[in-house]
């Protein structure tokens, strides 16, 4: 296994040195090939995701493959522009000559994916990585073994390994990959493993982008459109059974509207997945036993307001709402990453904002209010990766919005042009003319030169 990894790694280093993906034509060819092999293998990819956690073909297309196809189309349309050498002002002090920025690939790139949206998170970042001209190794999560195998099966026979290759495996191969001197590492996963990745990357001074998680709050104000808030929160929380990095982790709702909101929320949950989610094709299972047990340990029976039913043998946990929750409760300590929704009521929004300022900076935040003043205040006062006003999740689906965290929820971002920039080194070059050289910078320094430099530079 390690030998195969070394072999592919060395091939990719050589390929990078030979400038294999410097021609934009070749990069576009790779993107079109990726779209083609994914489209040709849709049935296989959808079957694999169903085997991993019971996700329907519709959902896996809508929340995974569609986003990849959208990224590919947008990139193909704009690559010439994004990758163009840029002219920048040169300045009189540097006369004669010109200054240019050359967008360049980093070289060979490692992408480590999480299991919860396996295609979107492993193959999605490969789109900007290839577009920027890098050779790419993707390491999907071993926790979703069928989708991991499907990606290897679809990518490896269709792409030259020196350009794009999928390496499967768990912690050992990943740690081996992390020990190699890649030119860039792009990691999606937990904050805990993100720290290990950054430590390993530091050994080789490899730049990292870390797409991590966190507890993303959802705040509902009395002046919100309550029915719409309930609809959009119900969808965003229980999509993928809450196993979404930007799912609303918990809801903060004003005491005055709490009961009304909760009734509307239950109505919307049942509208989406019926009164018995066990029978719904729109409701997925928990990825493995370890996560199932972790979630059950957070489920305080005395606080269940709705749901709570679970079946260990099926790794099934019904959509569950918990009330009378306190900030000190175990469920409020770490990202939940499952279909449990704690609801905390509040009286004073300013107090809520002060509390949120003391917590680790989350990947997302959702605010439901019609007050423009409060919208502005929350955007200005709180630090979080990104989010929505009066919606959940959907900011991830607009490739014109950079996606990424801040602080404990990550560093760096991608999607659209931002993804291209994430995988690009901007090489600055000054090209000088040789027919003239002003004597100002050379000693001996005189009073006149001192005066002149002040006039030139300001």
The residues assigned a catalytic role are 211, 245
Rounded CA-CA distance 236/84 in Å is: 38
CA distance 429 to 98: 9
Q: Which stretch binds ligand NAD (CB under 6 A): 45-53, 59-67, 166-174, 295-303?
A: 166-174
> Considering beta carbons, is residue 134 or 141 the nearer one to ligand NAD?
141
Which of 141, 209, 361, 392 is close enough to bind ligand NAD by CB under 6 A? 141
Q: How far is the CB of 354 from ligand NAD (least distance, A)?
A: 25
Q: Is 1 in the site for ligand NAD (CB under 6 A)?
A: no
Based on CB atoms, which residue is closest to ligand NAD, 84 or 171? 171
CB proximity list for 143: less than 8 A, separation 6 or greater: 115, 287, 288
Nearest to 412 by CA among 253, 91, 223, 184: 184
Query: Mind giving me the DSSP string for 282-344?
Result: T-PPPS-HHHHHHHHHH--GGGEEE---EEGGGTEE--EEE-S--TTSGGGTS---SSEEEEE
Within residues 181-210, the interface with ligand NAD by CB under 6 A covers 188-190, 193, 196
Please say whether the beta carbons of 295 and 338 come within 8 A. yes
Single residue of 245, 341, 364, 382 touching ligand NAD by CB under 6 A: 245
Among 112, 155, 239, 393, binds ligand NAD (CB under 6 A): 112
DSSP assignment letter at 363: S
What is the number of the residue whose Cβ is closest to ligand NAD?
A: 213
| Two tokens, residue 452 | 């002149």
| Residue 240 interacts with ligand NAD (CB under 6 A): yes or no | no
Query: Site for ligand NAD (CB under 6 A): which residue of 45, 48, 74, 143?
Result: 143
Nearer to ligand NAD, 252 or 393 (CB): 393
Q: Are 293 and 315 in contact (CB under 8 A)?
A: no
37, burial (CB in 10 Å: exposed 0-12, middle 13-18, buried 19+): middle
The answer to whether 135 touches 115, Cβ cutoff 8 Å, is: no
Among 79, 83, 114, 317, binds ligand NAD (CB under 6 A): 114
Residue from 8, 151, 212, 262 binding ligand NAD (CB under 6 A)? 212
Under 8 Å CB-to-CB from 201, ≥6 apart: which residues?
178, 185, 207, 208
- Give the nearest distance from C-beta 386 to ligand NAD in angstroms: 10
CA distance 367 to 179: 41
Binding part of the chain for ligand NAD, among 38-46, 98-106, 109-117, 446-454 by CB under 6 A, reads 109-117
- Burial classification of residue 368, based on how many CB atoms lie within 10 Å of its CB (0-12 exposed, 13-18 middle, 19 or more buried): buried
Cis peptide preceding 444, ω within 30 of 0:
yes
CB of 293 to ligand NAD, least distance (A): 14
What's the CA gap between 202 and 196, in Å, rounded?
Answer: 10
Total Cβ atoms within 10 A of residue 102: 14
Among the listed ranges 126-134, 141-149, 316-324, 432-440, the one in contact with ligand NAD (CB under 6 A) is: 141-149
Question: What tokens appear for 132 in the block?
Answer: 């920027």
Interface with ligand NAD includes 116 (CB under 6 A)?
yes
170 interacts with ligand NAD by CB under 6 A: yes
CB nearer to ligand NAD: give 47 or 142: 142
Binding status of residue 49 toward ligand NAD by CB under 6 A: no
The nearer residue to ligand NAD, 33 or 196, going by C-beta atoms, is: 196
Please select the residue that binds ligand NAD; options are 83, 166, 266, 363, rule is CB under 6 A. Answer: 363
User: In the complex with ligand NAD, which residue's Cβ is closer, 177 or 219?
Assistant: 177
Residue 115 near ligand NAD by CB under 6 A: yes
Q: Which is nearer to ligand NAD, 15 or 151 (CB)?
A: 151
Which of 103, 107, 113, 399 forms a contact with ligand NAD (CB under 6 A)?
113
Structure-block tokens of residue 355: 């509390």
Residues that bind ligand NAD (CB under 6 A): 112-116, 121, 139, 141-143, 170-171, 174-175, 188-190, 193, 196, 211-213, 245, 335, 337, 363, 405, 410
């Amino acid at each position: 296994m390690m030998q195969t990894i070394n072999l592919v790694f060395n091939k990719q280093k050589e390929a990078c040195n030979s400038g294999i993906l410097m021609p934009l034509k070749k990069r576009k060819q790779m993107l079109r090939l990726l779209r083609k092999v994914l489209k040709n293998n849709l049935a296989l990819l959808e079957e694999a995701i169903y085997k991993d956690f019971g996700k329907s073909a519709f959902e896996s297309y809508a929340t995974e493959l569609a986003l990849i196809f959208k990224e590919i189309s947008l990139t193909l349309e704009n690559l010439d522009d994004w990758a163009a050498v840029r002219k920048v002002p040169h300045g009189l002090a540097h006369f004669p000559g010109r200054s240019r920025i050359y967008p360049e690939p980093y070289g060979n790139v490692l992408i480590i994916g999480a299991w919860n949206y396996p295609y979107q998170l492993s193959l999605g970042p490969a789109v900007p990585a290839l577009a920027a001209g890098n050779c790419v190794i993707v390491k999907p999560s071993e926790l979703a073994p069928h989708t991991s195998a499907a990606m290897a099966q679809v990518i490896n026979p269709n792409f030259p390994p020196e350009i794009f290759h999928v390496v499967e495996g768990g912690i050992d191969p990943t740690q081996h990959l992390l020990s190699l001197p890649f030119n860039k590492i792009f990691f999606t996963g937990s904050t805990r493993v993100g720290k290990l990745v950054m430590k390993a990357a530091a050994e080789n001074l490899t730049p990292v982008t870390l797409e991590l998680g966190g507890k993303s709050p959802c705040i509902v104000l009395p002046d919100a459109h309550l029915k719409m808030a309930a609809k959009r929160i119900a969808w965003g929380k229980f999509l993928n059974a809450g196993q979404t990095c930007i799912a609303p982790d918990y809801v903060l709702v004003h005491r005055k509207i709490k009961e009304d909101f909760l009734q509307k929320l239950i109505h919307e949950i049942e509208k989406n997945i019926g009164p018995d989610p066990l029978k719904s094709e729109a409701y997925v299972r928990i990825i493995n036993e370890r996560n199932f047990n972790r979630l059950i340990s957070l489920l305080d029976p005395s606080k269940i307001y709705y749901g709570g039913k679970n079946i260990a043998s099926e790794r099934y946990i019904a959509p569950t709402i918990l009330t009378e929750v306190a900030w000190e409760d175990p469920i409020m300590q770490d990202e939940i990453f499952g279909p449990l929704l704690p609801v905390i009521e509040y009286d004073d929004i300013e107090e809520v904002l002060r509390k949120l300022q003391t917590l680790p900076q989350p990947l997302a935040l959702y605010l439901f209010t019609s007050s423009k003043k409060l919208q502005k205040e929350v955007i200005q006062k709180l630090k979080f990766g990104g989010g929505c006003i009066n919606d959940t999740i959907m900011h991830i689906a607009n490739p014109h919005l950079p996606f990424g965290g801040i602080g404990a929820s990550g560093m760096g971002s991608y999607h659209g042009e931002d993804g291209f920039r994430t995988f690009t080194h901007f090489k600055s070059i000054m090209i000088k003319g040789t027919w003239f050289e002003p004597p100002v910078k050379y000693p001996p320094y005189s009073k006149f030169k001192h005066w002149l430099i002040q006039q030139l530079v300001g």
